[in-house]
Structure 1
Amino acid sequence: MDNPEYYSVLGLQRGATDADIKQAFRKLAMRWHPDKNRDNAEEASRTFQEIGEAYDVLSDKAKRAVYDRYGYEGLRDGVPGPDGAPGTGYNYKQNAAEIFESFFGTRNPFADFGFGDSTPFAARLRKPGPRKAEPVVRDLVCTLEELFNGCTKRLKITRKRFAPDGELRDESKEVTVDVRPGWKRGTRVTFPSEGDEAPGIVPADVVFVVQEAPHARFSRGDGAQLVYCAPLSLADALTDCVLEVPTLDGRVLSLPCPEVVSPGYEKRVPKEGMPISKKPGQRGDLILRFKIVFPKYLPDDKKLKIRHILAGEIDMGEGHTGGIEAAAPKRSATAPRVSPGAA
């Protein structure tokens, strides 16, 4: 094991007593003894070795003390002594059979019941099992709406399987992936041993990796942030307006924007972003990034009025009708729809 959790392997808590450790080992070792699991010899052998290693550490007071205090790395690398000299690291010798024999007084307590009486237990552990084929990895393309709301994907896979006559033939199978709200690009869904069969190998796992299809209006930000690019006319950027922003679940948010919007300005809407898959019911924030749409042409008289207004040179007293189409409603020419006169 690369970074074993010995208590979890034996199904124990850290405060387990010596009796608890022995009882857990007795139960699990009998359950996963390879001579009792001929139909699942590879998994049984691996699990049996893990159980033996966990017991080897936790049943030894010195090893357990180091593991409890410094974790597996401290146990593996050794803890320096008081004089700074390097300690002796722990290296499991793959001796589950010896541990089992020492504990039970026999290497194969199942021989009387017909298990393992023809193949020595230790030899079976040393014999390599069938090789597992490399995973078959496929893309699972989801729209942003599907990742926001969740959905069910039904996918057809074709693999080679042994027919009753012993020949390999193509076989189709439909698998189902329940996409959870908030899943991100790179999320992996594994279907164990659903790949091709072949002589002397364990069929490969089929792995689907979530990919996010491009969206016309939205993109994913950091974490659960959802980013919306909001086109805004120059007039609306300089005066107050209301943005009507469509959401990925079919709603429309009416968002007042009374502030002056300058290039690069962003507006944050809490809890309107992507769902957080590990925290059902919670969402990230919606980030509005504005794209200010400048007019392509202005006549000279309007240029002069704009210059005067922005420079504060026109007296905007009662009855004055100068400026940028003062009586005309303000609405962006491009999505999102903008309502004038927000409070």
Structure 2
Amino acid sequence: MGQQEWMTKDFYAILGVDKSADAQAIKKAYRKLARTYHPDHNAQNPQAEERFKEIGEAYAVLSDAEKRRQYDAIRAMAGGGARFSAGPGGPGGSGSFDDVFASMFGGATGRGGAGFGNGSFRFTSPGGSGGFEDVMSGLFGAGSRGGFGGFGQQPQRGGDLTSSTRLSFRQAIEGATLKLRVEGREMTVRVPAGVRDGQQLRLRGKGRQVPGGQPGDLLLTVEVAPHPVYSRSGEADLIADIPISIGEAVAGGSVEVPLLDGSSARIKIPAGTSSGMKLRLKGKGVRSSGKRRAGDLYARVRIVVPRKPSRDVTDAARRIDEAADFDPREGLTTQAGW
């Protein structure tokens, strides 16, 4: 998407958020819309794919603090009747590019003139005065097509692309090589180990290509499918919900915990274990890219009772209660503030 479209597209409206929305609200809105309009869920609706691309473009700008600042500045300038150039030696008007450049680049103003020597600059190209795209590409990474204050031709850079993909929980933990199709082009990308749900990856050189220039980047948003046993805790730890019986909770024992790589490990259940207790398996968590040590796996025990206990089971349970002689709700009313 060309930067000139920033003048006409209201990214806040596209995502359905207020201009004062914080990063969390923007991310939440994006994820909801992306799930709704994802092409995989709308195979018979070609308009959904266009809407999905539009949502991705909006999120790529608003989720990046610097791009969002620049976008807001440009939109504010456009709303104020901006002027895109100043005559030689002439004054820059209120709300013009002069004001935006002054705020972005520390006070240098574009009020005409031939170069930087006198504190001013102008945008020119070999065929005449530079247009909007010359200015914007110089600002936002695509390279100036013409001269910039006398510095001459700069190499162009292709635009960035946005897309999203869904990973299994194991793929997110271990990393994965994926084949994607973005704007009709097939590509192979490597997702690093340890990515989190909703994380946006910048994949260098996977964006739009331009003749004789550097390709842009692919901004890939990752959605991680939930797992029936495992969940993430912090950056590197995993939690596994492990069911145990009443007897194991009361008397203790040893249970096998399945690991994501297909192996297993045994943990000791102490006598008198309650539901929710966490038992640590050191080094069995997430090993993110660039980290020397993996996190830990916490087995969170959950006491499971028979769904249809027999008379013998219920009698045994009552005998346990009588023998234990303790009140599990002791002090509850005090804790509740009664």
TM-score by length of 2: 0.47
Q: Which has the larger radius of gyration?
A: 1
TM-score by length of 1: 0.47
More relative contact order, 1 or 2 (CA 8 Å, 6+ apart): 1
